[in-house]
Amino acid sequence: MKYFFFITLLIIGNTLFAQSPLNHPKSIFQDSTGRIFMHESLPAYFFISTNPDGKDAMQMQSESEPEHANPMYFDGHGKHYFRHSDNIEHVDIKFEIYADGKAPVSKASLSEVAGYTKGDDQYFGQKVEVSLAATDEMSGLEGIYISVDGGTFTRYSQPVTMDKERAYQVKYYAVDQVGNVEEVKDLSFSLDQSAPTTSYKVEGDLYNNIVSQRTKIALTSTDNLSGVKTTTWHLDDNPARAYTGPISLAGVAQGKHTLRFSSTDQVGNSENEKVYDFFLDNTAPIVTEDVIGDRYEVNGKEYASGRTKVRLSAIDNKAGIDAIFYSVNDGEFQPYTESFYVPDLKGPVSIKAYAVDRVNNSNRRANQGRNLRLTYIDLSGPKLAHKIEGPSFQKRDTTFVSTASKVQLKGSDAESGLAEIRYAVNNNSPEAFEGPFTFEAEGSYNVRYEGFDHVNNRNVDSLYVKVDNTGPVTFTRFSVSPIGTKTWKSNQVNVYTNYVVLFLSATDELVGYEKMYYKINGGTEKLYGSPISDFEGGVDYTIDIRAVDKLGNESRSAVTFSTVD
């Protein structure tokens, strides 16, 4: 009698925390052909049954090796057999069992787009499709799992498209039918869809986009992702060239020019061409000299007038004049700022000059010059001053005087000498100054005076004067109210208690109050410094007050009153 043996493998799986975020239990799997695969690390139990459905299955025991059975472990990855030798049919019956201990192998591929690798970083300029595939040598592939930018792993089903400019991180792994999990793989790259930015900087001579042949133009390109691959430039209609360093303008013709430039990054993003228009000025300025003035002889010495100056000027074709330099009798060149003269030199005077424009073009090597035959040059007018004789007070730019004050004008000239001083008051016609003068009435006066030397050099000064003949205004105030009135010397006067205190004050509209004096009932005059007190009761008082301003103008007043105990 033949028996039908039903053999069942019971697998007890343990949870394994692999390097992937998801849990894939180890398991047993039977494919469509009936082959049985199990994870090589799982324990195996053998059962036998006489029914195809295994309802009466009994666990098999090993009498010879009980310690190695129930459970039994396979001794490694590969194909294993459960064998029975049938001596009746004279055949060996083998039951194959596949112990699978190897994880699938996955790989990622990118769509065919141009890329660039910089160190460990990879860049692409177009959208990228990431495709995943995997193979397994035994139980077969259960699935591929993918995570994008740290997201949750999900089962991969179709290529993933990346089309935004940023960095991407793709992680993936594969799992076979019995729970072998591949180590997580990592794919990182960035999409770069922005063109570089290029700027220029003019080095050397520059003024309002005017340059010289000594000027250089430096280009600087930046790209935030893949980096700059090339920067090109071309001047006017010349062919484009790769930028390798500052662009020299040596040898470029004078006139208008246009520099065009742009950059391309490592993944093909190209910048729109930029333009810098400039004018190249290669012409030096031209210097001219003028000598202006007259002469005067005194005491056997010849003087040139203050108007006899050396005046330098220059013209330039484009950039304009930056500075003029001159040299006297082959001395050191110095900057020219205004018309000048040469003191303490006799005989011929040699003036050499050159100019520099705003982009440093110069004619210094061909110094222009001319000889001037001047003995002594007097360029400055007389020194002027004024003096107030008599009362005066200065307040900011105003001089306060009285009608008794005299204005004295003075002048001196160390070279050709003082010839004349003229003055005018309040825009009246100028007149020659012959001696000190005064002002007849109070008011404001603007005195403008000018001095001339013997070669007609002139200086001007002015004096603003206010005439004040009025003394201060005085005020009196008692510390208490009167307790009554009485008639004294035909006048009605107030009566106060003898402890009354008298306060004096004064104001002056123009120069200000200086000091004040008082005397009591015709007594000795005293300088007022504090309130007046200690009056006797039953006395009639007359207080005489004299106030003086800062010009000495006086005002007088008096106050009368009586006291009682």
486 and 551 share a domain?
yes
pLDDT at 370 over 50: no
Q: Which of 316, 329, 262 is nearest to 286 (CA)?
A: 316
> Position of tokens 């016609």?
429
> Position of tokens 């002027």?
384
The predicted-structure confidence for 394-419, as pLDDT tens digits, reads as follows 888 899 998 889 999 999 988 788 99
Q: Is residue 1 part of a domain?
A: no
147 and 206 share a domain?
no
pLDDT, average across residues 94-108: 93
253 and 306 share a domain?
no
pLDDT, average across residues 358-369: 75
Rounded Cα gap, residues 249 and 216, in angstroms: 6
Minimum mean pLDDT range among 10-14, 240-244, 359-363, 556-560: 10-14
Q: Is residue 378 part of a domain?
A: no
Q: Is residue 225 part of a domain?
A: yes
- As a whole number of Å, the CA-based R_g of the chain is 58
Q: Is residue 148 part of a domain?
A: yes
Q: Examine the fold and report which residue of 160, 175, 191 is the final residue of a domain before the chain moves on.
A: 191
Q: For residue 118, what is the domain's CATH number?
A: 2.60.40.10
Minimum mean pLDDT range among 376-390, 433-447, 487-501, 527-541: 376-390
The predicted-structure confidence for 491-527, as pLDDT tens digits, reads as follows 999 999 999 999 999 998 888 889 999 999 999 999 9
Within 10 A of 364 (CB to CB), how many other CB atoms are there?
14
pLDDT at 552 over 80: yes
pLDDT at 14 over 50: no
Rounded Cα gap, residues 549 and 469, in angstroms: 10
- % of the chain residues with pLDDT over 70: 90
Task: Indicate the burial class of 119 (C-beta count within 10 angstroms; 0-12, 13-18, 19 or more).
Answer: exposed
Q: Is residue 535 part of a domain?
A: yes
Q: Which pLDDT belongs to residue 454?
A: 84
Pairing assessment for the beta strands 197-203 and 458-467 based on DSSP bridges: unpaired
Q: Is residue 432 part of a domain?
A: yes
Q: Which pLDDT belongs to residue 348?
A: 57
Q: Which pLDDT belongs to residue 364?
A: 80
Q: Which pLDDT belongs to residue 11?
A: 38
C-alpha distances in Å from residue 363, one per residue of 3, 285, 329, 352, 409: 123, 7, 19, 11, 50
Winning range, highest mean pLDDT, from 253-257, 301-305, 308-312, 513-517 = 253-257
- State the maximum Cα–Cα separation within the chain, in Å, rounded to a whole number: 178
96 and 12 share a domain?
yes
215 and 276 share a domain?
yes
β-pair partners for 309: 292
Task: Indicate the burial class of 375 (C-beta count within 10 angstroms; 0-12, 13-18, 19 or more).
Answer: middle
Q: Which pLDDT belongs to residue 420?
A: 93
The predicted-structure confidence for 37-66, as pLDDT tens digits, reads as follows 999 999 999 888 999 888 899 998 988 888
Across all residues in the chain, what is the average pLDDT?
A: 88
pLDDT at 373 over 50: no
Q: Which pLDDT belongs to residue 4?
A: 37
Q: Which pLDDT belongs to residue 19?
A: 43
Q: For residue 309, what is the domain's CATH number?
A: 2.60.40
Buried b or exposed e, range 297-331, using 16+ CB within 10 angstroms: eeeeeebbbbebbbebebebebbbebbbbbbbeee
Minimum mean pLDDT range among 165-174, 392-401, 530-539: 392-401
Query: In this structure, are residues 250 and 331 in contact, taking their beta carbons and an 8 Å threshold?
Result: no
Rounded Cα gap, residues 179 and 169, in angstroms: 25
pLDDT at 460 over 60: yes
427 and 451 share a domain?
yes
Minimum mean pLDDT range among 12-16, 67-71, 86-90: 12-16
Minimum mean pLDDT range among 132-146, 286-300, 393-407: 286-300
127 and 157 share a domain?
yes
The predicted-structure confidence for 428-437, as pLDDT tens digits, reads as follows 999 999 999 9
Q: Which pLDDT belongs to residue 63?
A: 87
457 and 483 share a domain?
no
Rounded Cα gap, residues 209 and 280, in angstroms: 9
161 and 236 share a domain?
no
92 and 112 share a domain?
no
Minimum mean pLDDT range among 169-183, 238-252, 428-442: 428-442
Angle ∠(171,172,178) on CA atoms, nearest 5: 150
- % of the chain residues with pLDDT over 90: 64
pLDDT at 278 over 90: yes
Q: Is residue 37 part of a domain?
A: yes
91 and 10 share a domain?
yes
Total domains present in the chain: 6
Q: Examine the fold and report which residue of 158, 173, 191 is the final residue of a domain before the chain moves on.
A: 191
Q: Which pLDDT belongs to residue 367?
A: 52
Q: Which pLDDT belongs to residue 112?
A: 79
pLDDT at 10 over 60: no
Q: Which pLDDT belongs to residue 198?
A: 97
Q: Which pLDDT belongs to residue 9?
A: 42
Q: Is residue 172 part of a domain?
A: yes
pLDDT, average across residues 182-204: 95
Tell me the residue range of the domain where 165 lies. 105-191
Q: Which of 18, 14, 13 is nearest to 28 (CA)?
A: 13
Rounded Cα gap, residues 372 and 370, in angstroms: 7
396 and 427 share a domain?
yes
Task: Collect all residues with Cβ–Cβ distance below 8 Å to 321 and sequence separation of at least 6.
Answer: 285, 314, 315, 355, 356, 357, 358
Q: Examine the fold and report which residue of 248, 280, 312 is the final residue of a domain before the chain moves on.
A: 280
Rounded Cα gap, residues 459 and 117, in angstroms: 80
